[in-house]
Structure 1
Amino acid sequence: MTIIDVAKAAGVSPMTVSRVINGDAGVRAEMRAAVTEAITALKYTPNLMARSLVTSKEVRIGVIYSNPSAAFMSDFLAGVFEEASARAAQLILLKGEGGAPPTRDAIEGLIASRIGGVILAPPLGESAAVRQIVTDAGLPVAVVGGVVPDAICVNIDNHRAAYDMTRHLVGLGHRRLGFVLGNRDQAASIERLAGFEAAVRDAGTVTTHVVEGDFSYASGLIAGETLLDAASPPSAVFASNDDMAAAVVSVAHRRHMDVPRDLTVAGFDDSTAAVTLWPPLTTIRQPVRALAAEAMQRLIQAMRTGPSAAEVAGKTCILDHLLVERESTAAPA
Structure 2
Amino acid sequence: MPIAAKIRPSGELPGRRPAPEEAALGTTSKPARRKGRAITIHEVAALAQVSPMTVSRVINGNANVREATREKVMRAVEQLGYTPNLAARSLAAAQGTRIALIYTNPSGAYLSEFLVGALRGAARTATQLVVDTWDGLGADGERAAARALAKNVSGVILPPPLCESRGVIAELTSAGVPVVALASARSSEEISNVRIDDFRAAREMTAYLIAHGHTRIGFIKGHPNQTASARRHEGFQAALQEAGIAPDPGLVQQGYFTYRSGLEAAEKLLSRRKPPTAIFASNDDMAAAVISVAHRRGLDVPRDLSVVGYDDTSAATTVWPELTTIRQPIAAMADSAVDILLRSIRRKDRDIHMVVDHVVAHELVERASVAAPPKD
| TM-score for the superposition, normalised by structure 2 | 0.71
**1:237 corresponds to which residue?**
279
Comparing 215-224 and 303-312, the one that deviates more: 303-312
**What is the SS of the residue equivalent to 2:239?**
helix
Match in the other structure for 1:156: 196
Is the 2:301–2:321 Cα contact (8 Å) retained in structure 1?
yes
Q: Which amino acid aligns with 1:275?
A: T
* 204-213 or 245-254: bigger deviation: 204-213
Partner of 1:250: 292
> Greater shift after overlay, 91-100 or 298-307?
91-100
- Distance, in Å, in 2 between the alignment partners of 1:99 and 1:247 is 28
Q: Decide which structure has greater helix share.
A: 1
From 165, 168, 175, the counterpart of 1:130:
168
Does the aligned pair in 2 maintain the 1:239–1:268 contact within 8 Å?
yes
Residue pairs, 1:181-196, within 5 angstroms: 181-196=221-236
Question: Could you say which residue in structure 2 is the equivalent of 1:106?
Answer: 145
CA-based RMSD of the aligned residues comes to: 1.8
SS at match of 1:246: helix
User: 3-state SS of the aligned residue for 2:371?
Assistant: coil
Is the Cα contact below 8 Å between 1:269 and 1:283 reproduced in 2? yes
Q: Tell me if the contact between 1:140 and 1:309 (Cα under 8 Å) persists in the aligned partners.
A: no
**Partner AA of 1:56 in structure 2:** A
Q: Secondary structure at the match of 1:178?
A: strand
| Alignment length (residue pairs) | 278
Give the match for residue 270 of structure 2: 228
Q: Classify 1:99/1:211 alpha carbon distance in 2 versus 1 (closer, same or farther; 3 Å).
A: farther
Q: What is the CA-CA distance between 1:66 and the residue it aligns to?
A: 1.2
Give 1:137 shift.
Answer: 1.6
Cα distance 1:98–1:246, how it changes in 2: closer, same or farther (>3 A)? farther
The answer as to 2:116 corresponding to 1:78 is yes
1:167 aligns with 2:221: no
Counterpart contact for 1:245–1:266, Cα < 8 Å: yes
Alpha-carbon distance, 1:310 to partner: 4.1
Structure 2 residue corresponding to 1:176, chosen from 216, 225, 235: 216
The within-5 A match list for 1:288-299 is: 288-299=330-341
Shift of 1:65: 1.1
Alpha-carbon distance between aligned partners in 2 of 1:194 and 1:207, rounded to the nearest angstrom: 12
Take 1:63 and 1:259, find their aligned partners in 2: how far apart are those partners?
38
Contact 1:245 1:265 in 2 (8 A): yes
Deviation for aligned residue 1:57: 3.6
Give the distance between the partners of 1:93 and 1:321, measured in 2 at CA: 26
Q: Percent identity?
A: 46
5+ residue gaps, structure 2, are: 1-89
Q: Which moved more, 1:69-78 or 1:166-175?
A: 69-78
Whether the 8 Å CA contact 1:123–1:145 is kept in 2: the answer is no
Equivalent residue for 2:359, pick from 318, 326, 330: 318
Check if 1:202 corresponds to 2:239. Answer: no
The DSSP-based 3-state class of the residue aligned with 2:304 is coil
- The question of whether the paired residues in 1 share the 8 Å contact of 2:237 and 2:247 is answered with no
Q: Confirm or deny that 1:300 pairs with 2:342.
A: yes
Q: Quick one: which amino acid aligns to residue 337 of structure 2?
A: A
- CA 1:190/1:207 → structure 2, altered by over 3 Å: closer, same or farther? closer
